[in-house]
Structure 1
Amino acid sequence: MVETVEELQVELKKSVDWEQDQSDLWFWEKIGRLPFKLLDKMTPAFIQNKIGILLDELGQYVQTGGKYLSSVASLKSYYPQKNVQTLADVKLLRIADMDQAVSTLANNRKQLATLQGAGTGVGGIFTLSIDIPLLLGIQLKTLQDIAMCYGYDPNDKEERIYIVKVLQFVSSDIVGKQAILQQLSLMDAPDEGMKREVISELQGWREVVMTHRDQIGWKKLFQMIPIVGLLVGAFINRSAVSDLAEAGMMLYRKRRINERLAQVAEE
């Protein structure tokens, strides 16, 4: 049995309050907003080359999903106590069940990111180039699986665009977050013209990687020190996946709640 309108309104308020809290940045995130020219001088060329490769990988991901595409068949593992076979089955679950599945998923991915960051941090500069694409892979997989836990299909191209926008949201400053929230809301608008306009904005998807470099790239510099990089790498990767999982959960749950409220209103 799905929630009542009153219960949905309470759950929706949690996501709305979270969005309002995204109005400030942590101190060291503010430090991370260094001018690109200064960052270019600080960042080794091989790291920038890896970031450039991510541009191509993100582009391929949007178009085809590529090697990062998750399988809908994995739904069973997220809902072991439920008879869930398809995304249609997920849409019938309560929001609390979806939240629980995502919370479990997020904890598992944070542990994986921590181990991966520590493992690649041991080697310092020699393993840093491996860590960056691996972190992107964990991030994309996490968002795709969160989408499925709320009943959305990452096999759809528009859904992959939404996922990249969420990734961009996490890496943006205050002004950027507000703009992206507006774009995400338009992607579910009934007006097809509005949908096309939002999708066309993806021509600027390169800024996703550039802001990714702005926020994470400089922090990775501290990971170049062998052994010390173990602790730094573990912390950075865990923090990155944790922030992403929180954003993905809040944005997708709000989306599902709004759709459920709209269905109730139509009835």
Structure 2
Amino acid sequence: MTLIRSISAESAKLFGLKTWWILLLVMVAYVGAFAAGMAAIFGGLLGGDQPIEGIAVAELVYSLGSTIAYAFPVLVGAFIVTAEFRHGTLTPTFLATPSRAVVLSGKVVVAAIVGAVFGLGIVLASVVPGAAVLGATGAETGLDDPDVWLIMARTVLAMAIWAVLGLGLGSVFRNQVVVIVIVLAFTQFLEPTLRVALGFTDLNASVGQFLPGAAGDALVGGSSFNAMMGGGGDQLDWWQGGLVLGGMAAVLVLIGALTTWRRDVD
């Protein structure tokens, strides 16, 4: 029952803030615009020059959000921890629930839940405008294909894991500004650059598939990054990608639990 109370308390704290739904709305608008644009480009406006066609177009459009927007659930997951340190609310949290392991477990569960909510937001923002534009251009929407629905389901799962990874990151680096800089620098510049650079040789490409973003793409099952790079590059199976990404999240949470979570609260 203590864990249930902790989950309830953590949920109330998170969903009582404006930050999570502001990020959610920005993410939905961002993904929706990109999905509609990609659907228009690959769905018909390029005529016979498309590098991909058929059901692969729908898979690319619907998986786009998981590639370009995973930073949002990572940030929300990090804020679950960093906001406590920033506003000094961790002391009353520990007074209400003395077991730090229970508090951390509650935060992990809430992070996974809010990550899944962001995953649903990504799916809706990708599928609704994407399918509408694909249908209007005469391309296949793929909505009758079970593989496409599996991509949607795995997108939700991937975002849940990304949020837990963000929680772990926030547990290791308690400063909110530092975490924001790390997340944006890594997701928007460092990893995309590494994935392009490592894709030039087979050996490097086999290493690049274990980067977190590449593992997330593999879990979802439709890498828009690889497609936009000409379809090249190795990719793990979806379950392997899930294990790699989940393993990274678990390691970060464990490091936070063994370091930051054991220190005295200021």
Q: TM-score, normalised by structure 2?
A: 0.35
Q: TM-score, normalised by structure 1?
A: 0.35
